[in-house]
Structure 1
Amino acid sequence: MNIAEALAAATERLENSGIPESRREAASLIAFAIGRERVFLIAHPEYILTVDETAAIDESVKRRSSREPFQYIVGRQEFYALDFEVSPSVLIPRPETELLVARAIDELSKIDEPQFCEIGVGSGCISISVLYNVPNATAVGLDISEAALAVARKNADRHNVLGRLDLRSSDIYGSLTPRQFHAILSNPPYIPSSDMPALQPEVSEFEPRVALTDGGSGIEIIERIIAGAPTFLLDGGILMLEIGAGQSEIVCEMFDPMVWRTVIVLPDLQQIPRTVIAVKK
């Protein structure tokens, strides 16, 4: 079998499984499976695949046909211009989360030696992206999943920020020192459990449920983060949270005006209110 034939077969298989942009995904899977760039497929459609290459392609296409996310198959995802390892132990980084990162970089760059904490560090994409772009910053990353922390540790090492990122196995605010941080960042599990069945199978069946939903209304962990943040933020410190569609009003009501100076909500590229930024008095 040559590349052209393999591409046609893989495209049909993915299309029959309901995968959007099946030809593009088929090409990416084949390139990954044979260890080549996609341009090689275009330049050499007549290339005869080896038995091992054919088997690798078949395995990758089989996994994607089952609706396993492409990122888990190839084991990586780009985020904020950096390459991150991902596995089923961590949430796949999303473009909308880059909004939170960009704002965190902007705010922390104004401080001489900024310290921040991330709650639910996952793959580490948020903390690592901030540390990479703010060289004088240090951070504490918390997660209840040891497997997620292992992935974050690898990513921090890959991007040479491991020495500035203290990764801890902990629930919300566990083992932290009061009045320590200039900022607290989090992309918490905010999807209501009632919405989970309607999600794409790539999300509902493969990504870690604990990173997607709190098992209830979707705002319970957000409420805990907001309630505890004043204890661990310095005066003038900033809390930055990603939230779900339709949650901005109820989340903003959680901030006590006696404690917080300002609360704003920034929209994502689809104009959905996505990132809450609150400044402590």
Structure 2
Amino acid sequence: MSNVADLLRASELPPLEARILLMHVLGWRRTELITRDHEALSDDAVARFAALAARRAAGVPIAQLTGRREFFGLDFDVTPDVLIPRPETELLVEIALDLIADTPNARVLDLGTGTGAIAVSIAHARQDARVWAVDRSTKALDVARGNAARLLDANNVTFVESDWTAKLDPSLLFEAIVSNPPYIASDDPHLEQGDLRFEPRGALTDDADGLSAIRAIIERAPFMLAKNGSLWLEHGYDQADAVRRLLQARGFTEVHSKRDLADIERTTGGVFTA
């Protein structure tokens, strides 16, 4: 019968991944792997760990194996129907919270919500805000609604199934619109590598040049923004200049980009005053 230390030592996975999967199987915290490392494990636990490790070795993302991913200090449920929340997207949440910092009862729109990570994180931090979360995928919205129900005390997120803003009430005006749209070009080889192989293609690529969803959002956003409202978009590592030009051409001012922790221009936005 194996113990924790032996099982982790024998695993061919990177140590961190092996520890995450074993914690998931055992329902233990990280400290327990240390304090209970010589504790014997049941054959069932060893078998379940081995099954997960084999799936991970085949490329299945850790978040899909455990069903959870931490984002902005919250644990979000994750399924194969949604994009896995990534640390760089936390920048978009920080920007949105800065934009509405001095606006009581602000309205925020999250386009392409997926897990609901952006919308729920904003709503969790600002319970007086009203947040609308839009996605065209019914399955993604089911995941997002579940996350909101589990993570939020206040009922301040409205979910809408829509292709971008098409089904939103046209009388709604938002202080801030944020989006992490599909921005990978259809011919990008990264789509066939790593975790991306297991995530919904429609959440990753526009099946075009990587900018068509961004163009559509920029074109429509002014109709949905309150006066001096802001639009901010996450985009690819090499798309900042193109997104700045698109925003400026649509009449946005104060257009600029912000860098993520890897020093990559990851988000770009501006203010609409017209």
Question: Which interval holds the TM-score relative to the shorter structure?
Answer: over 0.9
CA deviation vs aligned residue, 1:144-170 (integer Å, no higher than 9, x gap): 111110110011111225621111111
CA-based RMSD:
1.6
- Give the secondary-structure state (helix, strand or coil) at the position aligned to 1:228: helix
CA gap of 1:120–1:161, structure 2 versus 1, over 3 A, is farther
Q: Is residue 72–residue 88 contact of structure 1 (8 Å, CA) maintained in 2?
A: yes
Aligned to 2:8: 7
Q: Is residue 247–residue 269 contact of structure 2 (8 Å, CA) maintained in 1?
A: no
1 CA distance for matches of 2:192 and 2:268?
Answer: 23
Q: What is the CA distance between 1:44 and its match in structure 2? A: 2.9
Q: How many residues align?
A: 271
Range that drifts further, 180-189 or 50-59:
50-59
Match of 1:223 among 203, 215, 222: 215
Q: Is residue 191–residue 212 contact of structure 1 (8 Å, CA) maintained in 2?
A: yes
Runs of 4+ with >4 A deviation: none
- Give the secondary-structure state (helix, strand or coil) at the position aligned to 2:155: helix
Range that drifts further, 31-40 or 135-144:
31-40
Match of 2:264 among 247, 251, 272: 272
2 CA distance for matches of 1:6 and 1:33?
Answer: 13
CA gap of 1:142–1:213, structure 2 versus 1, over 3 A, is same
Match of 2:103 among 92, 97, 111: 111
Aligned to 1:18: none
Q: Is residue 34–residue 57 contact of structure 1 (8 Å, CA) maintained in 2?
A: no
Q: Is residue 118–residue 139 contact of structure 1 (8 Å, CA) maintained in 2?
A: yes
CA deviation vs aligned residue, 1:201-253 (integer Å, no higher than 9, x gap): 222x1111111110111000000000011111111111010011111111111
Match of 2:38 among 36, 41, 46: 46
Q: What is the CA distance between 1:99 and its match in structure 2? A: 1.0
- Give the secondary-structure state (helix, strand or coil) at the position aligned to 2:247: coil
Aligned to 1:246: 238
Q: What is the CA distance between 1:2 and its match in structure 2? A: 2.1
Matched, 1:167 2:159: yes
Match of 1:211 among 192, 198, 203: 203
Where structure 1 has 5 or more consecutive residues not aligned to the other structure, the ranges are 15-21
Q: What is the CA distance between 1:259 and its match in structure 2? A: 2.8
Percent identity (aligned): 38
Where structure 2 has 5 or more consecutive residues not aligned to the other structure, the ranges are none
So what's the TM-score if we normalise by structure 2? 0.93
Aligned to 1:200: 193
AA aligned to 2:9 is A
AA aligned to 1:148 is A
Q: What is the CA distance between 1:48 and its match in structure 2? A: 1.7
- Give the secondary-structure state (helix, strand or coil) at the position aligned to 1:163: coil
AA aligned to 1:51 is D
Range that drifts further, 171-180 or 260-269:
171-180
Match of 1:183 among 166, 171, 176: 176
2 CA distance for matches of 1:166 and 1:198?
Answer: 31
1 CA distance for matches of 2:189 and 2:164?
Answer: 23
CA gap of 1:161–1:139, structure 2 versus 1, over 3 A, is farther
* Within-5 A mapping of 1:232-243: 232-243=224-235
- Give the secondary-structure state (helix, strand or coil) at the position aligned to 1:89: coil
Match of 1:64 among 39, 56, 68: 56
AA aligned to 1:192 is A
2 CA distance for matches of 1:49 and 1:260?
Answer: 60
2 CA distance for matches of 1:4 and 1:127?
Answer: 40
1 CA distance for matches of 2:49 and 2:242?
Answer: 47
- Give the secondary-structure state (helix, strand or coil) at the position aligned to 2:188: helix
Range that drifts further, 27-36 or 138-147:
27-36
CA deviation vs aligned residue, 1:40-63 (integer Å, no higher than 9, x gap): 232233322112111211121111
Matched, 1:136 2:137: no
- Give the secondary-structure state (helix, strand or coil) at the position aligned to 1:253: helix
- Give the secondary-structure state (helix, strand or coil) at the position aligned to 2:267: strand
AA aligned to 2:18 is A
AA aligned to 2:4 is I
* Within-5 A mapping of 1:14-33: 14=13, 22-33=14-25
1 CA distance for matches of 2:150 and 2:38?
Answer: 37
So what's the TM-score if we normalise by structure 1? 0.91
